[in-house]
Amino acid sequence: MKTSLISILSFLLVLLFSLPAKSADSLVVRKLVYQVDLRDDVNSFTWTQIQKGFARAEAEKADLILLNMNTYGGEVLYADSIRTRILNTEIPVCVFIDNNAASAGALISIACDKIFMRTGATIGASTVVDQSGEVAPDKFQSYMRGIIRATAESQGKDTLIVEGDTTYRWVRDPRIAEAMVDPDVEIPGVSEKGKVLTFTASEALQNKYCDAIVQNKEEILLKQYGYSNYELKVFQLSVKDKISGRLMGTALRAILIMIIVAGIWFELQSPGIGFPSIAAGVAAILYFAPLYLDGLVQYWEIILFVVGVILIFLEIFVIPGFGIAGILGILAVVLGLSFALVDNTNLSFDFKSLEMIDEALVLVVLSMLVAFFVSLWLTSRIGVGKGIFRYMALESVQDKEAGYVGVPATDKNIIGKTGLAATDLRPSGKIRIEEVLYDAVAEFGYIEKGKNIKVIRVESAQLHVEELK
């Protein structure tokens, strides 16, 4: 019995030592790192990329999001949206500034938990400028100063104990962040008065706006986070998301607004429904669809736009003159296009959205004015001269020498005859004379249905009538 027990133990020991030994790395939990690129101007496309990338990282429970950045800045609206998305995610976010983090890029970087910069990279210069590169009014600068200070403050404070005294110091000094926007902010040894602050990598490291200078992403993951076993996934947008993101660009939105206005204008200049209506309809769909999919557009904004277009057509084709319906139609179209650009829920706007309404209104109104004047110019050029516009109008002439003969469409003997208005004449409509219907135009004012009328003249095959009192 004793011999059998010894034999069994010996067998188990041999079996144990024959098993392959596990490496230390295999015992370490594999980390999932999601890389999201921001290597373009900050706009609708990059916002879509950040939004979708962060959502995917959260769905797969990533351990870290690495923002790979190289940007000269972009639109404040989308920069603020990206900043807010970073601050609200529970996954740690670090940024690797490959080369530039200027303007809006600096704001986004400051929102990240860790900032890493390559040698030669820069961060700063966040002053708000307009489309022409000119410094924007102080109203916009004040807003930018506020959000960049708040972003720096969101990183909290470090607790320091010096000679028994406890003090607190900002992880990222909000005054330094403000100096990146306001040239009037002076910080001794950091920024000069009259100059907007921009840090090199070494300066950012010295002033706590960079956690380490690295040369590649692998160095961040291995040396800074200690990830010896990790999986790096690079997020890529789908074709649908790429198209949606591009359609939300400010420049393209302005072009779509101009196509909508020009399409309506040219449709009003020609009978029937043709290419201008189709172009305006397609432009309206391309304008609203990406905004709706992104959650910016509510149903009431689309309905407001459609009602505005209907009122304009009613004013021109049904209601005489140009009055309340036309004005309300234009106002509804402008507001529908403008509010579609501003985030809201059931007519509820937050302070940030209200700040952006004036920017949206300026974009829409300027685009509509440009489209209107360009349409007027094109209308004056069609069929004139020897350019390309000459072929957009019918130039054929029905000369008498070619055999064309004008035949009166209406007998002149009808002048002086009386009858009844078969429809309202506002000013055009139909009349009935001796049980025959004619198209007619009221000479003065409007004539209601059933009133007695008299034909006073015939001009261009058109009966002109007046009401018999």
Q: Please give the mean pLDDT across all residues of the chain.
A: 81
SS3 state at 217: helix
Q: Which residue has the higher pLDDT, 321 or 444?
A: 444
- Please check whether residues 123 and 148 belong to one and the same domain: yes
CA-only gyration radius of the chain, Å: 36
Last residue of a domain, one of 239, 258, 273: 239
Longest Cα pair distance anywhere in the chain, in angstroms? 140
* Gap between the Cα atoms of 377 and 384, Å rounded: 12
Specify whether 374 is located in the same domain as 421: no
| Model pLDDT for residues 155-209, shown as the tens digit of each residue | 988 877 766 677 788 999 999 999 999 999 999 989 999 999 999 999 999 999 9
**Residue-level pLDDT at 335:** 87
Out of 331, 366, 381, pick the residue that ends a domain: 381
For residue 300, give the amino acid letter: W
Going from the C-alpha of 212 to that of each of 92, 215, 218, the distances in angstroms are 16, 10, 13
CATH number at residue 425: 2.40.50.140
Rounded Cα–Cα distance for residues 129 and 72 (Å): 12
Read off the pLDDT of residues 54-98 as tens digits, 9 standing for 90 and up. 999 999 999 999 999 999 998 888 899 899 999 999 999 999 999
Q: Residue 76 has which token pair? A: 């404040």
pTM: 0.62
Mean pLDDT value across residues 246-256: 74
Rounded distance between C-alpha atoms, residue 148 and residue 174, angstroms = 8
Give domain status of residue 356, yes or no.
Answer: yes
For residues 264-282, average pLDDT: 74
CA distance 279 to 60: 42
Q: What is the mean pLDDT of the segment spanning 243-261?
A: 76
Q: Are 92 and 32 in contact (CB under 8 A)?
A: no
Q: What is the count of structural domains for the chain?
A: 3
Are 150 and 172 found together in one domain? yes
Beta bridge partners of 71: 101
Token pair, residue 460, equals 């261009």
Q: Are residues 127 and 202 in the same domain?
A: yes
- For residues 323, 329, 331 and 337, what is the CA-based torsion angle, rounded to 10 degrees? -160
Q: What is the CATH number of the domain that holds 100?
A: 3.90.226.10
Residue 360 within a domain: yes
User: Which pLDDT does position 23 carry in this prediction?
Assistant: 47
pLDDT digits (tens, 9 = 90+) for 105-162: 999 999 999 999 999 999 999 888 776 667 878 878 888 999 999 999 999 888 777 6
**What pLDDT, on the 0 to 100 scale, is given for residue 269?**
66
One domain for residues 89 and 209: yes
DSSP annotation of 346: T
Tokens 């309905």 sit at which residue?
303
The answer on 204 and 80 residing in a single domain is yes
Render pLDDT for 335-381 as a digit per residue (tens, 0 to 9): 888 888 776 655 555 544 555 677 778 878 888 888 888 877 777 66
Rounded CA-CA distance 438/464 in Å is 11
pLDDT, position 219: 95
Under the banding of pLDDT at 50, 70 and 90, the label for residue 291 is: confident
User: Residue 445's pLDDT is what?
Assistant: 76
Looking at the structure, tell me whether residues 114 and 162 fall in a common domain: yes
421 & 332 share domain: no
Does any domain span residue 401? no
DSSP characters over 363-377: HHHHHHHHHHHHHHH
Half-sphere exposure of 346 (CA within 13 A, CB side): 0
pLDDT at 201: 96
Residue 16 vs residues 4, 8, 10, 246, 285: alpha-carbon distances, Å: 19, 12, 10, 61, 70
**Residue 302 scores a pLDDT above 80:** yes
Tokens coding 242: 């790429």
Q: Evaluate whether residue 308 is within a structural domain.
A: yes
With residue 441 as reference, give the H or E element that holds it: strand 436-442
Q: What is the DSSP string of 301-315?
A: HHHHHHHHHHHHHHH
Q: Cα(185)–Cα(191) distance, rounded to whole angstroms?
A: 8
**Shared-domain flag, residues 343 and 452:** no
pLDDT tier at 436 (50, 70, 90 boundaries)? confident
Last residue of a domain, one of 207, 239, 271: 239
DSSP string, 80-107: HHHHHHHHH-SS-EEEEEEEEEETHHHH
3-state secondary structure 18-82: HCCCCCCHHHCCCEEEEEEEECCCECHHHHHHHHHHHHHHHHCCCCEEEEEEEECCECHHHHHHH
Q: For 3-25, how does the pLDDT look when each residue is reduced to its tens digit (9 = 90+)?
A: 555 666 565 555 555 555 444 44
- In order of 66, 94, 352, 407, the CA distances from 91 in angstroms are 10, 10, 25, 83
| pLDDT confidence of residue 351 | 45
Range of the domain at 224: 29-239
In a domain, 4, yes or no: no
Answer yes or no: do 300 and 413 share one domain. Answer: no
Task: Please indicate, yes or no, if residue 12 is contained in any of the structural domains.
Answer: no
Say which amino acid occupies 421.
A
Residue 14 lies in a domain: no
429 and 313, same domain (yes or no): no
Query: What whole-number percentage of the chain has pLDDT above 90?
Result: 33
Residue 6 belongs to some domain of the structure = no
Task: State percent of the chain over pLDDT 70.
Answer: 76
How far is CA 436 from each of CA 369, 413, 423, 428, 430, rounded to the nearest angstrom? 47, 14, 13, 17, 10
Q: Are residues 223 and 283 in the same domain?
A: no
